[in-house]
Amino acid sequence: MIKITSKTPPKIIISQKTIDDINSDLDISKTISDPSEIPVGEYVNAIGLNVLRQKAVESLFSTDHFAFENNKIKIKSHVDIRLIAGHVFENYIVNLMRMDMKIGKKMLGWSTGFNENNYPIIGNRNDFVSFYFGIRTIAKSSRETKEWDTNKYSHTTKDDVAFYVRNPVDSEKSICLGGFQVKAIQGNERREIISPLLKNEYSSVITLLKNDKGEHSYVRCMKIIDDLKSSGEITEEEAQTVKRKIGHPSMLGIYQELIDDVYGKLLKLERKGLKEEKLIHDGGGFIFDGLISYVHETDENGSFVISEGNGNERTLIIEEV
């Protein structure tokens, strides 16, 4: 058990040494055509369930659609849960990028072209690392973004996630390096992804989900693009350009089963709370049964206590950065 003297749920910090150790143990950089090929359990076991659980809960409450009221998780919006899921995933992906630098670097390089190949390593100095840590990554629809800069807050924009750096001429302003759309869809890929990319309405898209038959939307996109090329509706060059702008979780270092699990939990949410998830009320805490479990409660001093969802206390190690 670890107590954190704060009135708000804490954020877990992982040191660079931990990130390096995780990256050395995992082969998550391999680009594969079918996201289902990733081995089950490796990423979750290496990162740690507690960290991943908290990131999912943080992402839920980073949107404007959920609130914790009267000891129940409430869905504030009347929007269909499948649309709400997209906003949750925007925040979740940003959380994963901040937690795991390897994911962050992959996302940045894929969507903007800024990568380590652009920056030489001179002696012990790595200019790319300096550049990378100067970037602010935001989810456009998050509460955090609304508090930081209301002008950048949006539910309808070209990029759901964007990268900003401080303007060297005017430190009060920032420059957008680029970004990407986050799609949590299980069909209509041509309308939702391919057509906007062909019209340059999106810069790039990460598509996350499988349909009811288990086919990933990324695979569907590739088939649709090939069909459009075969029918002469688009050229070979257009086909290759659009393909490069579409990504899937495991291609960018994100564990596909984790995405599937979060989405499964979201589908069980009802507007009255977590009926099927058996919401547990205990000291102001709440529990998600399954992979995404997290509970917090306050002790006599008002500090937050983080523990396992099954009630058994477990030590969380927060390493110094």
Q: Which residues contact 77 (CB under 8 A, 6 or more apart)?
A: 64, 65, 84
3-state DSSP call for residue 179? strand
Band the pLDDT of 266: cuts 50, 70, 90.
confident
Alpha carbon separation from 69 to 72, 119, 170, 274, 285 (Å, rounded): 5, 48, 42, 13, 11
How many whole angstroms separate alpha carbon 244 and alpha carbon 242? 5
Average pLDDT, the chain: 67
Beta-sheet strands, E only, within 194-303: 205-207, 246-247, 295-298
Q: Global pTM?
A: 0.65
pLDDT at 182: 92
Q: Which residues contact 33 (CB under 8 A, 6 or more apart)?
A: 219, 222
Q: Which of 9-23, 90-104, 254-268 has the lowest mean pLDDT?
A: 9-23
Band the pLDDT of 268: cuts 50, 70, 90.
low
Smallest CA-to-CA distance from 304 within 296, 316, 295 is with 296
Task: Kindly give the pairing relationship between strand 304-307 and strand 2-4.
Answer: antiparallel
Q: Is the pLDDT of residue 94 over 80?
A: yes
Q: Which of 63-72, 106-115, 199-208, 222-231 has the lowest mean pLDDT?
A: 63-72
How many whole angstroms separate alpha carbon 296 and alpha carbon 6? 12
Which is higher by pLDDT, 8 or 111? Answer: 111
What would the mean pLDDT of 66-92 be, rounded to a whole number? 67
What would the mean pLDDT of 255-276 be, rounded to a whole number? 66
Band the pLDDT of 121: cuts 50, 70, 90.
low
pLDDT digits (tens, 9 = 90+) for 211-223: 989 999 999 999 9
pLDDT at 212: 87
pLDDT at 88: 81
What would the mean pLDDT of 113-137 be, rounded to a whole number? 72
pLDDT digits (tens, 9 = 90+) for 293-321: 333 333 444 333 333 333 333 333 222 22
Band the pLDDT of 135: cuts 50, 70, 90.
confident
pLDDT digits (tens, 9 = 90+) for 168-186: 777 677 888 889 999 999 8
Contacts made by residues 208-215, CB under 8 angstroms, sequence distance 24+:
208/89, 208/182, 208/183, 208/184, 208/248, 208/249, 208/259, 208/263, 209/184, 209/185, 209/259, 209/260, 209/263, 210/35, 210/36, 210/186, 210/260, 211/186, 211/187, 212/186, 214/36
Band the pLDDT of 52: cuts 50, 70, 90.
low
Smallest CA-to-CA distance from 290 within 315, 313, 260 is with 260
